[in-house]
């Protein structure tokens, strides 16, 4: 019986690990879908109908004709050929297919573990919460796409940030569960103590930065100022006037959103360096290695952010910048986990 339980727990951990990899992959594909402006190529939700791609010429023409009705085609891609359309179509198609695969892959094994095994109640409860977020993510994805079908050539950056934030919540929740299982413990994430708050604040700041990264992506704000460390010839963008407090809250301003994204990066860097100094000053040796991982991913993230900007939004640098953001979140969560007693 004990051997059986160990085998079930091993399968449970492997299932979560594969789920984590799949979600990591869909974040990458989603980022590339955005970078290639492919997200509006399929103009209907097609929850069941769109399982297979177009298999003949007439079906391709039908999809292309639907795309021709939206503003993105009329204002930006009016001279696009069918072959060019197929490229952006397949990016969105693979993004949607991967979403379906993740949903099914998470649901069916979860039901199996629920009814046939002795997985800890807290672990299963977390999995059902993750499943809820996965379903919600699909709904939010279509809600996001709808924002670019009527009056805009791209999706709402607010809805894009919500879509990306949910993806990070899902992958972070799975990561937290995996490290709990490997440690054979159950540490609650929201454990507000004086010792934990600085690390929770770090995770919050990184998530806040991810939201602003989505704003930058959704607005194509990286195309405004492609210089560093200055924005053009000055620290503050010189194409906007701040004569009242409301203008500081204008998150539709491309220049202002890029300015906030840059300065949040500076704030996070300073915060991590101060946190690291305190950890070494107090001799908290169990946090040395987790802290080094955070510092490595922070440095990579900063460099890739700069290279993305000054390269004119090179797709390799931009995608790598997003990939490292996931690893930075993982490392900050791992740092926090190791701090909890």
Cβ atoms of 309 and 222 closer than 8 Å: yes
> Mean pLDDT over residues 162-188, rounded?
94
Residue 136 has pLDDT above 90, yes or no: yes
> Mean pLDDT over residues 302-327, rounded?
95
Calpha distance 333→84 (Å, rounded): 41
Residue 57 has pLDDT above 80, yes or no: yes
Whole-prediction pTM value?
0.94
Predicted confidence (pLDDT) per residue in 229-252, tens digit:
999 889 998 888 777 777 788 899
Q: Euclidean distance between the first and final Cα of the chain, in Å?
A: 32
pLDDT number for residue 335: 97
Calpha distance 170→73 (Å, rounded): 33
Assess whether the previous peptide bond of 234 is cis (omega < 30° from 0).
Answer: no
Residue 215 has pLDDT above 90, yes or no: yes
> Mean pLDDT over residues 326-334, rounded?
97
Residue 172 has pLDDT above 80, yes or no: yes
């Amino acid at each position: 019986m004990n051997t059986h339980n160990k085998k079930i727990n091993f399968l449970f951990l492997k299932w979560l690990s594969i789920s984590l990899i799949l979600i990591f992959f869909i974040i990458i594909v989603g980022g590339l879908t955005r970078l290639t402006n492919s997200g509006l190529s399929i103009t209907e939700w097609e929850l069941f109908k769109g399982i297979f791609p177009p298999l003949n010429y007439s079906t391709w023409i039908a999809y292309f004709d639907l795309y021709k009705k939206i503003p993105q085609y009329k204002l930006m891609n009016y001279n696009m050929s069918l072959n060019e359309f197929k490229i952006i179509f397949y990016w969105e198609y693979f993004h949607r297919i991967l979403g379906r695969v993740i949903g099914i892959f998470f649901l069916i094994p979860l039901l199996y573990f629920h009814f046939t095994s002795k997985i800890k109640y807290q672990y299963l409860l977390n999995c059902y919460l993750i499943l809820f977020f996965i379903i919600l993510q699909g709904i939010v994805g279509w809600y996001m796409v709808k924002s670019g079908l009527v009056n805009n050539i791209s999706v709402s950056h607010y809805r894009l940030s919500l879509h990306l934030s949910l993806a990070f919540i899902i992958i972070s929740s799975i990561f937290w569960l995996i490290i709990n299982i490997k440690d054979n413990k159950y540490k609650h994430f929201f454990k507000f103590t004086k010792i934990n708050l600085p690390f929770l604040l770090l995770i919050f700041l990184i998530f806040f930065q991810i939201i602003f990264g989505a704003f930058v992506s959704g607005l194509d704000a990286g195309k405004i100022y492609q210089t560093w460390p200055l924005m053009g010839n000055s620290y503050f963008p010189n194409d906007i006037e701040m004569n009242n407090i409301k203008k500081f809250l204008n998150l539709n301003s491309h220049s202002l959103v890029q300015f906030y994204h840059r300065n949040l990066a500076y704030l996070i860097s300073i915060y991590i360096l101060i946190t690291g100094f305190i950890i070494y000053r107090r001799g908290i040796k169990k946090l040395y290695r987790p802290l080094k991982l955070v510092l490595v991913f922070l440095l990579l993230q900063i460099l890739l952010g700069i290279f993305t900007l000054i390269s004119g939004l090179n797709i390799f640098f931009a995608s790598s910048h997003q990939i490292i953001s996931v690893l930075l979140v993982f490392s900050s969560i791992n740092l926090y986990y190791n701090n909890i007693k």
